[in-house]
Every structure is written in C-alpha cells, then in structure tokens.
C-alpha cells in the first residue's frame, strides 16, 4: 500500500530544489482553508491550494524563487544576486539550510478593503496577499494570504512528520468484498482522506486493488470488525448473503461505528432483519442503524461504478458527521469538568 506520506517522501527525494506554498490566512470565501499547502519544483507540483489563478500566481512566484525561467505573469527573472545567495546558502543540495520560518499574520483585510494584490519578497521567502475577485479572474469574494518559502532538510522532515501524524488519525473504511462493486468502491475511496481496507476470503478478488488501499485475506472476515478503531465505517458487499449477515450483525453490535451499510434489495434487508432480531439477539435500535441498500435508492442505477460513487459520498458524509459529533462531545465534557 502506498500512502500519502510515502508519496510526499518520494516527491521530496526526487524533485530537487522545492518551494513550500502554504495558505497562511483567509478571509471570507476561499478555495482552501488555512494550512492547506502544495510543493513546487521547477518541473512538477505536489498537492494544491485550490487551483485557479491564485494557484497559478503562487506557482509562478515559487518558481521565480527556485531560479527557473522568467515569469510569464510577473515579467521578472530571478536576479543573479539572488541566485548567488541561494547557492551560497544551499549549494547544489536539494534542501539548503534556511533561516527560521516567519509566518505572516492571518488577520487579513475584510472584503472590500485593499483590492490590490500585495507581494512581499526576500531572497528565500515571499508573501502574497491576494483578493479573490475580478482582478485575478476569480469570483470567490474572499482574500488569501499565501506564504512561499524554500524547503530545507528540517522543513522537509517537518512536512513528512506532519503527513505521517495526519495519516495515523485518518478514519477507517472497511470494505468487505472485492467483487465488482467492492472493486469500484475501493477505487472511489482511494483518493479520499481515509484509510481504506478491503477484506476478502478469496485471494483472486484482491487482485488489482488501488495502491493506496490496504488488502486483507482472511477466512473469517467478521472478526476484523471487532479490531476496528472507533468511528470506523463498514461497507458489507460480499459474494455470500449469509456472510454479509454475520458481518453486519457484528458491526451493529458496536455502538461506536460511523456507518454500517449493506448492499442489497429491500427483500434482503427484510430477511436480515428477521434473522437479526430472532436468531442473532439483535435489537430494533441496533437494526435502525443499518444503511441498506448502500448509496440509497434515489438513483435507480445498478452499475457498480454508480453504486460505488453514491456509497462513497454517503460514507464520507457519515464519517464527517461522526467526527464533528465526537469533537462536540469532547468539548462538552471538558466544559463540564472545568465548570
């Protein structure tokens, strides 16, 4: 499995000299939130700060700082003096030693205050203060402050460590079944900020999964439910209805899941309910948490990629809602303890 942190390491290791482009402050409606970042080399980029003219301007300015060709947006080339300073500080290494980072204030002017783009530049750091209006061909209406600085070895290590921490905290989606819909759902969630795991009893069904998706082969998949962390999502769509029922029952017994969904028809759901209540010691309250069919029934299209797209949106909505509720509950507990 190839993770975002691994991809970041690979980019930093192969891109040569790199600039970090980071959203340092926002006001009003903006494409990305404070803290969003991208990395820019002379030939490629990693990540995004939202696209559009804002991103083009930031990439252009970053590549000026990296010493690339003259800018088509700003019409200035990197001076020989700046090149000499960069060479003196970093030599030919990919990550020169840089002075401590200074983050600009996030208190930007409100909408309508100061419509011009402001640029502050030194040899190793630049700040863009950009109104997202007709002046640059965007109509978001807000304002963004972008910090651009060259990446040294310490900052590179900081970025990788932050990516690894973020990765460790990602919610889990467990997909039980690697059939046509399972394959499609794995592909749909592979690019989402989640840790996706496909679980199968058949080795051949795990072939061809996206590289960002973990795969597990086991003869008793329902056991995997018990070891999943709190806040996980479970999508059950195996090749065997009886196996689906066992896995769903195991998931519904937990009270800390973000989502439990089963593929199938109304008849399958009714059959499961009868079995769950009479033979699996399930309750009406537990059964009420089951989402079936996954993806809803508003779109009557049974093609696997369509079901997968609808289910991925449904699952992501549930994960975000669970995280928000957990954060609110933690805040309430802290307030109660403090009071």
Q: Which of 11-15, 80-84, 279-283 has the lowest mean pLDDT?
A: 80-84
CATH number for the domain that contains residue 226: 3.40.50.720
Domain count across the chain: 2
> Residue 241 phi/psi, 5° resolution?
-60, -40
**Domain boundary residue, one of 165, 200, 231:** 165
* 18, 136: one domain: yes
Residue 247 included in any domain: yes
**Domain boundary residue, one of 147, 165, 183:** 165
For helices 4-14 and 153-168, give the axis angle rounded to 10 degrees. Answer: 170
Separation of alpha carbons 252 and 269, rounded Å: 14
* 158, 281: one domain: no
Q: Smallest Cα–Cα separation from 184: which of 209, 202, 164?
A: 209
61-111: pLDDT as tens digits? 999 999 854 444 433 333 344 444 444 444 334 454 444 444 444 444 433
Cα–Cα distances (Å) from 1 to 4, 212, 338, in that order, read: 10, 5, 43
Residue 178 included in any domain: yes
Residue 208: burial class (beta carbons within 10 Å; 0-12, 13-18, 19+): exposed
pLDDT at residue 287 tops 60: yes
* 151, 188: one domain: no
* 184, 52: one domain: no
- Give me the pLDDT at residue 130, please: 81
* 264, 133: one domain: no
Token pair of 99 as six digits: 């002075």
* 294, 218: one domain: yes
**Domain boundary residue, one of 138, 165, 192:** 165
Rounded to an integer, the average pLDDT of 265-286 is: 96
Token pair of 312 as six digits: 């991925």
Task: Find the domain containing 24 and state its range.
Answer: 4-165
* 125, 149: one domain: yes
* 117, 180: one domain: no
122-154: pLDDT as tens digits? 557 888 888 777 666 666 678 889 999 999 999
In the Cβ-directed half-sphere of 314, how many Cα atoms lie within 13 Å? Answer: 24
* 70, 158: one domain: yes
* 161, 270: one domain: no
pLDDT interval class at 338 (50, 70, 90):
confident
146-182: pLDDT as tens digits? 999 999 999 999 999 999 999 999 999 999 999 999 9
Residue 337 included in any domain: no
- Predicted TM-score (pTM) of the model is 0.76
Residue 56: burial class (beta carbons within 10 Å; 0-12, 13-18, 19+): middle
Residue 336 included in any domain: no
* 122, 137: one domain: yes
- Give me the pLDDT at residue 108, please: 42
* 16, 119: one domain: yes
């Amino acid at each position: 499995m190839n993770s975002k942190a691994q991809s970041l390491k690979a980019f930093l290791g192969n891109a040569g000299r790199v600039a970090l482009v980071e959203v340092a402050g926002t006001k009003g409606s903006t494409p990305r939130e404070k803290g969003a970042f991208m990395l820019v080399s002379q030939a490629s980029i990693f990540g995004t700060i939202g696209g559009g003219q804002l991103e083009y301007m930031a990439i252009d300015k970053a590549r000026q700082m990296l010493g690339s060709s003259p800018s088509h947006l700003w019409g200035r080339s990197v001076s020989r003096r700046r090149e000499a300073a960069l060479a003196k500080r970093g030599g030919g290494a990919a990550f020169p030693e840089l002075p401590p980072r200074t983050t600009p204030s996030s208190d930007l002017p409100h909408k309508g205050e100061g419509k011009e783009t402001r640029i502050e530049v030194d040899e190793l750091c630049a700040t863009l203060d950009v109104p997202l209006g007709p002046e640059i061909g965007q109509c978001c209406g807000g304002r963004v402050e972008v910090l651009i600085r060259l990446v040294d070895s310490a900052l590179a290590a900081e970025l990788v460590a932050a990516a690894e921490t973020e990765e460790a905290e990602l919610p889990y989606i467990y997909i039980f079944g690697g059939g046509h819909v399972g394959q499609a759902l794995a592909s749909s969630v592979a690019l989402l900020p989640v840790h996706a795991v496909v679980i199968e009893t058949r080795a051949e069904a795990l072939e061809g999964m996206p590289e960002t998706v973990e795969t597990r082969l086991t003869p008793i998949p329902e056991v995997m439910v018990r070891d999943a962390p709190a806040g996980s999502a479970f999508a059950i769509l195996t090749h065997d209805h009886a196996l689906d029922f066992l896995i769903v029952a195991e998931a519904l017994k937990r009270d800390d899941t973000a989502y439990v969904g089963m593929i199938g028809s109304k008849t399958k759901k009714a059959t499961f309910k009868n079995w769950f209540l009479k033979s699996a010691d399930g309750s009406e309250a537990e059964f009420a948490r089951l989402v079936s069919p996954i993806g809803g029934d508003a779109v009557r299209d049974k093609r696997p990629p369509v079901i997968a797209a609808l289910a991925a949106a449904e699952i992501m909505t549930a994960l975000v809602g669970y995280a928000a509720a957990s954060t609110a509950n933690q805040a309430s507990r802290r307030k109660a303890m403090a009071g």
